Amino acid sequence: MKHGVRAEQREQTRRTLLAQGRRLFAEKGYADVGLAEIVAAAGVTKGAFYHHFDSKLALFRGVLTAVQEQVGAEVAAAADAEKDPWRQLVTGCLTFLTATAAPDVQRVMLVDGPAVLGWAEWRALDEASSARHLAEALEVLIGSGVLARQPVAPLTHLLSGAMNEAALWLAGSAGNTDLDDTKAALTRMLTALRADNGVR
């Protein structure tokens, strides 16, 4: 019983560190957050911090992974609610733009993520989450003839890159009007990829 309680306490400490890390990284940016500030906000000692993460960078990596998983889950849930594979793709892509419009997601995932971890590691994490789901959706649509037969990898990277760039641009934009316009532009771009030129 005691062992179970300790394990739960350790997991709670880890969750608290991730939550406070996310809040501070989102508010101030990675470079302006110190380790002392993180442990104070979480109400733990530095020893407790190092039990879970070997550095501030390791905590940031954990926060980024959690943010990407959250976005991926939102996209998957919205797409899965649609029965038609084409609607799944469009809904998933539009949901990605909506999810990444949240300021904390923008700061952690799109601004600091590549800068802190480096482009290669950030790309690998991105591919392991949202890009993999996008590739799977495109494979289904190519297989069923909705999209013209073509290699999936280049199309996945082109669409993923376009959506990440749009999300970054939206991070510095005025708000909902730009988000709505970007969603409309993305819908037109996706429709143009259809083998039937969007005629349904």
Question: Do both 109 and 45 map to the same domain?
Answer: no
Exposed, middle or buried by CB within 10 Å (0-12, 13-18, 19+), for 94?
A: buried
Looking at 9, 25, 53, the residue that finishes a domain is: 53
Q: Report helix, strand or coil for 172.
A: coil
95 in the same domain as 35: no
**For 79-120, how does the pLDDT look when each residue is reduced to its tens digit (9 = 90+)?**
999 999 999 999 999 999 999 988 899 999 999 999 999 989
The per-residue pLDDT for range 173-197, each reduced to its tens digit, is 766 689 999 999 999 999 999 998 6
Ramachandran area for residue 160 (φ above 0: left; ψ -120 to 50: alpha; else beta): alpha
Extract the tokens encoding 91. 């809904």
Q: pLDDT at position 1, please?
A: 47
Number of domains comprising the chain? 2
Radius of gyration, CA atoms only, the chain: 19
Q: For 111-137, what is the mean pLDDT? A: 88
Verify that 61 and 48 share a domain, yes or no. no
CATH number at residue 107: 1.10.357.10
Residue 122 has pLDDT above 80, yes or no: yes
DSSP labels, 86-110? HHHHHHHHHHHHHHTTSHHHIIIII
* pTM over cut 0.75: yes
Domain range enclosing 62: 57-199
Helix, strand, or coil here: 112? helix
pLDDT digits (tens, 9 = 90+) for 13-50: 999 999 999 999 999 999 999 999 999 999 999 999 99
pLDDT of residue 125: 85
Q: Any idea what the CATH number is for the domain that residue 38 is in?
A: 1.10.10.60
pLDDT at 3: 66
- In a shared domain, residues 64 and 29: no
Q: What is the dihedral of CA 143, 134, 166, 110, to 10 degrees?
A: -160
Q: Which residue has the tokens 């110190």?
A: 34
Q: Are residues 91 and 24 in the same domain?
A: no
- Is 115 in the same domain as 148? yes
Q: Counting beta carbons within 10 angstroms of the beta carbon of residue 93, is it exposed (0 to 12), middle (13 to 18) or buried (19 or more)?
A: buried
Residues 73 and 33 occupy one common structural domain: no
pLDDT in tens, 49-81: 999 999 999 999 999 999 999 999 999 999 999
